[in-house]
Amino acid sequence: MIKIAVLVSGSGSNLQALIDANLSGQIVGVISNKPEAFALTRAQQAGIQTAVIEHRQYPNREAFDDVMHQQLLDWDADLVVLAGFMRILSEKFVKAWEGKMLNIHPSLLPYYKGMHTHQRVLNTGDVLHGCTVHYVTAELDAGQALAQGVLKVSHHDTVDSLAMRVHSLEHVIYPQVVEWICSGTIQHTEDGVLYRNEKMQEPVQFCKF
Ligand code: GRF
């Protein structure tokens, strides 16, 4: 059974979706860099171990990442799931977990890497928006995309309404991708990412129109 560790900084609604999904893997622990993160309460209510590792207590990014790395090894984690984890990770940490670490980003990557994605979509007047689950690599929001949730932007949409609509898509696609990894439907190999035993060319898209 795949052992999953989830890294959080905030509310943890994606963590909740993973807990509620009854994955065939096991969530063995949740790490937060913020002691006040509500995600910790969600984990505790589900009987999942938690660790608070405050980045401010370490002299630099590498020292903080080393402590997280050790915690993940202690939990014997196979898969690391970033769910609203608001720290940039050092190259060494990312390399150590390459092919074993996922993130979800609130845009249709490669468009709108970085922050304020909903505002940027509205500013541009895009018709489509959504979220992307991808492997984490050293370049920000640039690892291979595995799945995307796609929605149509309406002229009534605001930053808040888009944030809410994208969030509910996240809660569908993130557990699905994690389950695909747990079940071997998605495999990270030296020859690339396999989906149902074939090389994945495009992320799987879930459309909510
Ligand atoms: C989500 O919008 C996700 O796309 C981004 O961080 C947010 C996390 O939300 N990476 P939550 O803490 O899971 O509610």
Instruction: Give the chain's domains with CATH numbers.
Output: 1-97 (3.40.50.170), 105-208 (3.40.50.170)
55 among known catalytic residues: no
The four Cα atoms 205, 87, 191, 75 give a dihedral, to 10 degrees, of -110
- Provide the pLDDT for residue 141: 86
Confidence of residue 68 (pLDDT cuts 50, 70, 90): very high
Q: What is the pTM of this model?
A: 0.96
C-alpha–C-alpha distance, residues 136 and 126, integer Å = 26
**pLDDT reading at 106 higher than 90:** yes
Q: Is 87 annotated as a binding residue?
A: yes
pLDDT given for residue 57 in this prediction: 95
What pLDDT shows up at residue 84? 96
Closest ligand 1 atom to residue 10 Cα is: 12
Residue 72 φ then ψ, to 5°: -65, -40
Ligand 1 within 6 A of CB of 12: yes
* Average pLDDT score, the chain: 97
In short, whether 168's Cβ falls inside 6 Å of ligand 1 is: no
Residue 140 has pLDDT above 90, yes or no: no
For the cut 90, the answer to whether the pLDDT of residue 129 exceeds it is yes
Q: Are 205 and 176 in contact (CB under 8 A)?
A: no
Q: What is the per-residue pLDDT across 151-207, written as a single tens digit (0 to 9) for each?
A: 999 999 999 999 999 999 999 999 999 999 999 999 999 999 999 999 999 999 999
Confirm if 200 and 193 have CB atoms less than 8 A apart: yes
pLDDT band at 208 (very low <50, low <70, confident <90, very high): confident
Band (78; pLDDT cuts 50, 70, 90): very high
- Report CA(53)–ligand 1 centroid distance (Å): 19
- Reading phi first (left if > 0) and then psi (alpha if -120 to 50, else beta), residue 154 is in beta
Phi and psi at residue 177, to the nearest 5°: -65, -40
Residue whose Cα lies nearest atom 1 of ligand 1: it is 84
User: Nearest 5 degrees, angle CA 52-CA 77-CA 114?
Assistant: 65
- pLDDT confidence tier of residue 209, bands split at 50, 70 and 90: confident
